[in-house]
Structure 1
């Protein structure tokens, strides 16, 4: 459905006001297309001021980050933090450290986070941040000094009731620890709820490292159940080999599926007998090496340089690397190999052209703002534990995560059916998230 004249004019203005930010434009266009039927049914929600406010960040912070490497050389990077919507609660979203990070990248991620966070039902707004700093090949000392320099500016803009960052690409438990240490030193407060994804001994939550990958698999499991399938005996392909991919692999194996391929920036690892989670963890998390090292440890594995995993036959797929990594040709290949279902472990990893292929082939498609909401949901649970100064068991936290993911699946499914798009999880996620946020915005008034 093309955008009507009012919505099309709004989108044109957004593109004009935010030049050279194609990922942000893409994210906005998807939401506007999904909610247009709702706006036609309920004109009060289509008030241009509400939509303009929804698509305009409440604040955008850009700052210089100066740090020194181990040789004493000075480096200058750019830091970002975008608070997009606080209608439902404090800004909540991760920090990404990667050379590709720009303001447009952060805005697209923060915009997606609005609707993702709304789906969790936890009362958290949408935000995101990061830097064009590349941690690859850097020593622990260099990463610590960068994190301290980054937090020296960021601390002015965050707090348990204002903005609560977490990790993302390039920002794991080590980086969160350095960031929180600097925040604690500067503010002279142990505000555990100011950041999430922390180590357990400084207020972190059980199951937080596993949450995004586990949650994506729970959502995938629910999609399959809706079609009369289970994960038992299914062959899976996962892109990426970082935190999300690794724990998705673990949970897929636990539920009876076999993951035969994963990838990193250098190529694709394939093992027809199933990739071993323990060895993958050793290679990527302990040794911090590229995937080609895995084949030195497992004789049945093969590594294909510069290859993506999408031409490998599989029943289910979880793109879990980065945005727009899976294009139309990849989708055609997956469809020809009789893919049953796909859940986005990353944020917007499938292009619009790829999604169209999946929809036309009637492949169950779980969009990132629903399928990978497990990470931010468990961050919300960490905030609850920090506020109460308590700790939950791994089992309790995982059970709560599973319940939230199944609830998100149900919400998407029912909302899509109620709006004439049965089985369309994109419509379900966007419309459900939009209705929640729009209601809060109207309640709060013109702010």
Structure 2
């Protein structure tokens, strides 16, 4: 009797994952073993060029020396303090963020983007109750997280509907429609929640002038303007923060993902009066301001600054975008986005097929929508690595084109 084919390490880990975890993710296609720079290796030893960086999280790629050193040093010094005591890395990080934002404000540190948005929602609730405002406005197809408060603000029926009713009264309007926004926001609106570019909707930028119009509408009515930059900040678009492209200043800003470079961290920043809405005891987080995560975030900010990665993100993003468009492939109808936060827009709903074909060719991309492939590589990706993807892309597209 002959033995069957040997089980691969990938297959074994995927089977164990399926048996041990709740089924909310399905079974991911790969089991990763290690990373270095812009590359990842799976459990079977195959190498991939990582073109979405853990959903725009790994700003410096994998195993960056500055991040490794900062995390190792801080873990050996002080790994946790709780919110009952102060640690220096959290203070340094809050000061550094406010310096980069160039606007007076106050910071709350959390562990994720969803938690940052929960903080923003609670700020807006308290603001609304003290000023007689009772509802929120957010955008259709926007994404702000999956906890009940954040999900209430998320304009995607496919993930919302089965979990209602929600604790917030939210009115959804089409993204990018300034007239619809103006009609929806009255003096009874507590806050408007928007992304400067919609991420999970497929990296959808606003039309010119939309962010300025949102700021003016909120100024006129007294509603808070909350900008969710969970994906778009920390150099992703070639500026520290995406809203800086439009020259607007929100009342509240939320951050996460790329801030920690792979370590869990989130931040909610309130500017001006919005920074002092909370009183003692109004909000908290046991792990918020964790010194290891804050040390990682400081290393990310220092490296982006020291290594000129904002300019590199702009140049590398232009190389990637123009290279895709220059192919003139019939399956590609265009490219959306800024810097190293792009969507390759398809002329047919074949994004999942493109993702699978790219993986077989040694490239990891993300089918963020049926007709859109998200590309959000580490800010340290090289021109040569981008060119290797562009060289392989025609064959990848040909494999999935009928």
TM range (shorter): 0.3 to 0.5
* TM-score of the two chains, using structure 1 as the length reference: 0.32
* TM-score of the two chains, using structure 2 as the length reference: 0.34
Q: Which has the higher helix share?
A: 1
Larger RCO (CA under 8 A, 6+ residues apart): 2
